[in-house]
Amino acid sequence: MGSERREVPFGVAIIPLIVMIAGMAVTIIVFEGSPHIPLILGSVVAALLAWKYGFSWKDIEDGMYKGIQLVLPAVLILIVVGMIIGSWIGGGVISAMTYYGLQLLSPAYFLVAIALICAVVSLAIGSSWSTMATIGVAGMGIGMSMGIPAPMIAGAVISCSYFGDKMSPLSDTTLLASGLSGANLFEHIRHMLYTTIPGLVIALGVYWYLGRGFASDTVSATEINDVMTVLRENFMISPWLLLIPGIVIMLVSRKVPALPALIVGVVLGWIAHVWLQGATMSEAVSALQGGYQLESGNAMVDKLLNRGGIDNMMYTVSLILVAAVFGGVLEHTGMLEAIVRKILKLVKTDGGLMASTVGTSFFTNAVSADQYLSIVVPSRMYAKAYKDRNLHPKNLSRALEDGGTITSVFIPWNTCGVFIFGTLGVSAFAYAPYAVLNFTVPIISIIFSLLGITIVKLKK
């Protein structure tokens, strides 16, 4: 057994996925546990089946390592984001953004306002993660101080952060989808307008409607004033502190890679913690490692500011690594390809092909636990089918982004879902109903595909 490699059939390839999903349901719903063990269980089942079909342990191990290698950039960014949150809270940056935000923004319009700000920033810099790590973190503090539920705020931040990630010519996923499909970058972006703009309009409408519920000041003016007073008592509040996130956003917009740009933010936050807030160097270093600690006597402020640090990111880092192992085994042993190939056999029309691409990209997000694989794998599997049907490459590139780029946030063990949990402190299950853009765009894309709307053929 295991001496000669054989192709893993669909019926076998889907077993690890069924085991993982069943284990996930029992662990999370019944035991109220974490998704780590079901992912490990799925990896073990996948490895055993691969061994039975002729893959050596080295082959399986290589698949695991390749899966991990793919998510290492996400792991590094998560660690740095942990430090940036700790240093920005200690340095008074988050307090300053919250303080001025409470003065300028009304609870009734906050969700729409934070959504639009995230849309503009992410469009300018091309990165949802950098937008969430800067504007998103501050938005959570401001909104929660107004009494708006955290999942609602997170949903607005996520929706419009991914608008820019999807539509910006600076975005790596936008470049990846257009490059792999062979579409011109700006043709690809223009073609995405048909599905993304309606999704954005619907999302902003929902946030406007939800915001009306806070027009009667769920949190009274007195309570907001109490929060502002506590912030002034514990931090030196200055508009100069707003330069720190401004510098980070400016660096990313000038195409400085995310990691060094965020490191600059950590250094500036640490300097502010020591120089402006009067902390000792030891306290400032501790905030980078274990997060910031405050006992102000105000429960809301303490909840907002007692977080950050590398240690608080280790749960999310371990989840990313475990999920990467599962996805790596399925990808490297051909199981994922066998599942996608089965789907392809069921496609009969142009619209069905595009709808299947959207669905496959979402499915790959769940199985491989990585946003980039949700673009890479379907593009490789479907490219020939699009060519055979004389479909323009921008149809494929749009379907990849509609189904892959923005749906990654709904998978708790996907790198994006894990990053959001670590950065905004809200689980995928909690914010999912409010990440309106992220679920309306795939739905619109599938409807348009099945109705034949905006499907473009190549000229003969």
pLDDT (tens digit, 9 = 90+) per residue, 101-155?
888 888 888 999 999 999 988 887 888 988 998 899 889 989 998 889 999 999 9
What share of the chain in percent tops pLDDT 90? 51
Angle of the 335-345 helix axis to the 36-52 helix axis, nearest 10? 90
The verdict on residue 369 lying in a domain is: yes
For the chain, the distance separating the N- and C-terminal CA atoms, rounded to the nearest angstrom, is: 51
Q: Does residue 45 lie within any of the structural domains? A: no
Q: Which residues pair with 391 in a beta bridge?
A: 457
Q: Give the ranges where 235-334 is alpha helix by DSSP (H).
A: 243-253, 258-275, 281-290, 299-305, 314-332
- Helix or strand or coil: residue 391? strand
Instruction: Render pLDDT for 304-362 as a digit per residue (tens, 0 to 9).
Output: 788 889 998 898 788 888 888 988 898 899 998 888 788 777 888 889 999 999 998 99
Domain that holds residue 406: 67-460
Q: Between 367 and 239, whose confidence is greater?
A: 239
Instruction: Report whether pLDDT(217) > 60.
Output: no
Handedness of CA 167, 173, 179, 181 (dihedral sign): negative
Question: Is 10 part of any domain?
Answer: no
| Residues contacting 250, CB < 8 A, separation 6+ | none
What's the burial of 348, exposed, middle or buried (CB within 10 Å: 0-12/13-18/19+)?
Answer: exposed
Separation of CA 426 from chain center: 12
Residue 8, pLDDT above cutoff 70: yes
Would you say residue 251 lies in a domain? yes
Report the number of distinct structural domains present in the chain: 1
Residue 28, in any domain of the structure: no
Q: Is residue 229 part of a domain?
A: yes
pLDDT at residue number 71: 82
Residue 38 lies in a domain: no
Other residues' Cβ atoms within 10 Å of the Cβ of residue 51: 16
DSSP annotation of 273 reads H
Residue type, 449: S
**What pTM, to 2 d.p., does this model score?**
0.82
Higher-confidence position of 33 and 152: 152
* Residue written as token pair 């936050």: 269
> Quick check: 266 and 87 in contact, CB under 8 A?
yes
Q: Which comes out higher in pLDDT, residue 70 or 95?
A: 95
**Residue 1 belongs to a domain:** no
